[in-house]
Chain A
Amino acid sequence: MNIDRNHVAVIGAGVTGLTAADTLAGWGARVSLVEKTPFLGGHAIQLNCKATDACVKCGACVAEDKLLRATRHPHVDVYTGTQIETISGQRPYRIAYRTHSPLVNADQCDECGICFDTCPVSGAISQGHTPHGGPYVAIRRDLCRYFDHAACTQCQDACPQGAIVLSSQAQAGTMQADAILLTTGFTPYDPSDKPYGYGQFPNVITSLDAERLLREHTVMKRPSDGRPARRIAFIQCVGSRDARLGHPWCSKICCGSSLRMARLIQSRQEDTQITCFYIDVQTFGKDFQPVYRNIRDNIAMIRAIPGDILRTATDELEVVYFDPQSHASKEAVFDIVVLSVGLLPAEGNGTMAQTLDWTQDESGFMPSHGSERHPAPEGIFTAGAATGPMTIAESVSSAQESVYDMVRFLTAS
């Protein structure tokens, strides 16, 4: 089984893409690992280790390991900040792309954080990992107002190092590939439209915001005033299992993620009262039953999804829900409310399907390349959360299963 002469493209450098790139390179292939953001590691690399005393098998550390392995492999070429424009031809495919040079010069940036404070758009400036695994600051073109005709240059003007150049031009290029693996992952649900005040109340945050806050401070502090949170609510299934939104799927990872995070917070901030609003708790981990018993002893589990969140005069959050025990509407007050946002199909799936002359599945995710209903074009493969919500462990498996199919394809023809 020799694929030494083959060139493959892996599109998306989350935990699935990193695993696949490393594995394919191990088999001798030349791998182009293409990532549209300036960072490697996708969502998984932003997650906290949830261990308290013992490992809880969330898999977050796996992303770090896969990143190091893939980036150290001499056969893996990393293209960050690179957007696929078109894919044409037959094997070898011709892939046209545009690479955006980073808007923040990593050599000049000293991560003082002034740009974060200046930027008027939440989330437009973020931190992540460079191709070499190092953390660094980047500006998201999709959110930045400079690219939205508003020509805002506040961060550029404020940067004391002169490290920000918003007028950096993108460069076009092409590459060829004998096979392409789509590992484009998912898009988190944006809960702005839910009646929870997200975007208006600073202490209503998403599960991904919570991961970032916890990673930064190691404890949960209220974004509004930096006070440690004493009462935290998690609301599950925000944007998933939601027929009205047309999202008839469970996002699979959120119950495990939220409840493990809740226990981590309690281990670091004693006496933190945590309430979890849920529909059905999903199984996570091999030792779910004893773990869940322990969770029920320490976390108030309420089987109801709240209707509204209001801000009180003292800047607390009042959650209104229908209490299944008393069978009446109730209010409870919290310092922080974490919305466990669902995993949605990646935003670029439509254009990707179009350029490949393929299709999305009924939910909008990419079909599995083995799908009988939506047969994949020859040489096109999919893996990971691009095909539906997946845990980190499942993503690693999915990457390797797809690599096996790719190796078979490349050696058979």
Chain B
Amino acid sequence: MDESTTIDLRKPTSAPPEVIVFGSGACAQKITANLSDHGINAWLAARGDASPAAGQGEKRHWLTGVELTACHGFANNFELKLTEKGSLRHQHVPAIVLAEDDDRSPNYAPYGLSPNPRVLSISSLEEKMHQASPQSLFDNGTRIVFLCGWHNDSHPAIAQRMLAACHRLQNRSPVTIYFMTGNLKVAANGAEALVHSAKRSGAVFLKFTDNFPTIQTRADGGFEIDYLDELTRTDFQLKADWIVVDETIGPGRHLDALAKGLGINQDGIGFAQSDNVRRLSNATNRRGIFVAGGSRGILSDAEQLADADQVTLNVLAFLNNQDAEPLPPVAIDRGRCARCLTCHRLCPHKAIDIGDHMSVVTEACQSCGICVAACPARAIDMQGVNIGREVYQRIKKSALNDGAPQDTSQVMVFGCTRSAGQARALSRLAGHRLPKGVLFVEVPCGGTISSQHLLAAFDAGADGVMLCTCHTDNCQSEIGNQLARKGADAARILLQAAGVESDRLTVASVAANMGNELTFMIDAFVDRIKALNGS
């Protein structure tokens, strides 16, 4: 094999690594071809019968009729149980790519229409235009109405295709196009220029804000569209021969089963990536599993192909171990572990191995400390991180060294290193000093902090405790911030029972770039604690 195209794994390997790519469309095919170019044994696993896209004819490593039965193992060593056309197949792979195509369903009902030979979806119009020249498709003088994003907004990826088709038809065939739209989505490359050009060629754009037209299907197959023109406030009726409707892009039909089978968190719509900027661009909650193209969200065809290159780079970086951050290792004490499975249940990165004894898999672990905080037997430790001890030591040290008078309020601030820690660094660089008596404890994740840690801070002598986590949906470990809030709620109940004002414990959401805001939040909290102490 040519050395220049072989991946440099920086460790001796006997066989090239294997990677499995779930999907069948152009994006999945391009990823498979890319990885093969770099000497990776890449498998395309298609649910149905995949047919190669132009220029991607290499079928050597194509599996068809594939269903995922189970996924065991961890990054660098996944064990997939598949059925291939009904027969069982085991595959060991270090990395997995999820690149199923999205699903594009025509919108008939939102326009009061039903499927009809004269109502085309944008995909079927594109198909028609692909098979025959635009000139031959429609008779002279045909009126075609495009319907786009009325009650439900369209998406630029769809609108761009409609605008491209509208532009091409209006220019190349003897038709008149009426483009009836809500918000016209032009936030795609070249879309606004297409609108201008289509208008110059005679296409008519009609926009609606709140009152949308009504459509009647005539007996002869044509349509009557009644609408109130927003510019002139006049009622019009438009007669149309053909209607083209937009589509809604959603997750592919098999994506849900694949994501669940692989243990991948999904977004609110069902795409196989949580809606979290920390996953940019192809990462999932599990190290070694990547998501690309129509599996991670709504991307145009061109964006999906570009995404194939991006995910290739990310997979290669992973196989090269370039993505590994220097994180403190987490270990389970076998003697203390009661196999209650709390860690396994909570771990957002699926990094807990249930073998003969429970263990944390380093390749998959992100060192968030959620398991450390949650373990009822306190059997889990993160190397170099002992928050309980740090709390006592820091407060003791500050009381001795600060030279602070006895009446200075002691406030302990816990901050996630990925957000509040960075914000704290920013505010320090901007010259802001922490008020006297404030101790800032940087922790790996909000989820590292349990109710015990919060109570320990009060026990050690803190007058107030502030817990800073990432905003909802912005946690590197998905649920660390939610668990932190739960811990604070539990601690507050106990504080109240002990006669401590619950206002002395607060939880704040802080982003990495909120240096100023963090300063103001801490100042305000210190003032509140001072007021409570004074009363």
Using CB atoms and an 8 Å cutoff, list the residues of chain A in contact with chain B: 1-2, 23, 26-27, 45, 47-49, 51, 53-55, 57, 59-65, 68, 110-111, 133-135, 215-216, 218, 241, 243, 248-250, 252, 255, 279-283, 285-289, 292, 303, 324, 327, 363, 388, 393, 396-398, 400-401, 403-405, 407, 411-412
Contact = CB atoms under 8 A, between A and B. Distances in A.
B281 A400 contact: yes
A27 B8 CA distance: 10
A397 B307 contact: yes
A39 to B, nearest CB: 13
A398 to B, nearest CB: 8
A51 B512 contact: no
Given A51-B509, A54-B473, A59-B277, A289 B514 contact: no
A286 B271 contact: yes
26 contacts: A1-B6, A2-B8, A45-B513, A49-B514, A57-B275, A57-B276, A62-B280, A64-B422, A64-B513, A135-B426, A135-B430, A218-B516, A218-B517, A249-B193, A280-B183, A285-B275, A286-B275, A286-B297, A287-B269, A292-B153, A327-B233, A404-B309, A404-B310, A404-B313, A411-B5, A412-B4
A397 B267 contact: no
Interface residues of B, number: 71
A250 B156 CA distance: 11
B131 interface: no
A400 B511 contact: no
Contacts of A243: 196
A248 B38 contact: no
Given A286-B268, A407-B313, A61 B419 contact: yes
A401 B298 CA distance: 18
Contact of B153 (A57, A61, A110, A289): A289
Contacts of A68: 422
Given A54-B473, A134-B429, A286-B268, A281 B183 contact: yes
A10 to B, nearest CB: 16
Nearest to A111: B431
A215 B515 CA distance: 9
Contacts of B281: 393, 396-397, 400
A250 B472 contact: no
Contacts of B188: 250
A282 B186 contact: yes
Contacts of B186: 241, 250, 280, 282
Contacts of A397: 280-281, 303, 306-307, 310
A411 B429 contact: no
B366 interface: no
A248 B198 CA distance: 13
B424 interface: no
Contacts of A215: 516
B140 interface: no
B264 interface: no
A286 B192 contact: no
A27 B317 contact: yes
A134 B269 CA distance: 39
B167 to A, nearest CB: 13
Interface string B103-114: 000000000000
B111 to A, nearest CB: 17
B136 interface: no
Interface in B305-341: 306-307, 309-310, 312-314, 316-317, 320, 322
A156 to B, nearest CB: 22
A1 B155 contact: no
Contacts of B303: 397
A282 B156 contact: yes
B230 A324 contact: yes
A110 to B, nearest CB: 8
Contacts, number: 170
B316 to A, nearest CB: 6
Given A48-B513, A403-B313, A55 B187 contact: no
Interface string B465-485: 000001111100000000000
B468 to A, nearest CB: 13
A411 B4 contact: yes
A397 B191 CA distance: 20
A396 B280 contact: yes
Contacts of B87: none
B471 A51 contact: yes
B47 interface: no
Contacts of A60: 511, 513
Interface string B446-476: 0000000000000000000000001111100
Interface string B245-285: 00000000000000000000001110100011100110000
A243 B513 CA distance: 36
Given A280-B183, A286-B297, A288-B153, A26 B317 contact: yes
Contacts of A396: 280-281
Nearest to A133: B429
Q: Which of B191, B193, B310 has the most chain A CB atoms closer than 10 A to its own CB?
A: B310
Contacts of B430: 111, 135
Given A281-B153, A286-B271, A411-B4, 6 more contacts: A49-B513, A61-B277, A249-B192, A280-B185, A283-B156, A286-B268
Contacts of B520: 218
Nearest to A281: B183
A26 B10 CA distance: 13
B275 A287 contact: yes
B14 interface: no
Contacts of B474: 51, 54-55, 61
A282 B183 contact: yes
Contacts of B344: none
A55 B277 contact: yes
B209 A324 contact: yes
Nearest to A252: B187
Contacts of A289: 152-153
A140 to B, nearest CB: 20
B376 to A, nearest CB: 30
A23 B306 CA distance: 17
Contacts of B320: 1
Nearest to A390: B189
B207 interface: yes
B86 to A, nearest CB: 36
Contacts of A54: 471-474
Contact of B192 (A57, A248, A281): A248
Contacts of B155: 283
B184 interface: yes
B513 A401 contact: no
Contacts of A2: 8
A61 B303 CA distance: 23
Contacts of B514: 49
A283 B160 CA distance: 13
A282 B8 CA distance: 43
Contact of B313 (A59, A218, A388, A400): A400
A398 B512 CA distance: 23
Given A280-B207, A286-B269, A62 B277 contact: yes
Given A51-B471, A53-B472, A287-B275, A27 B422 contact: no
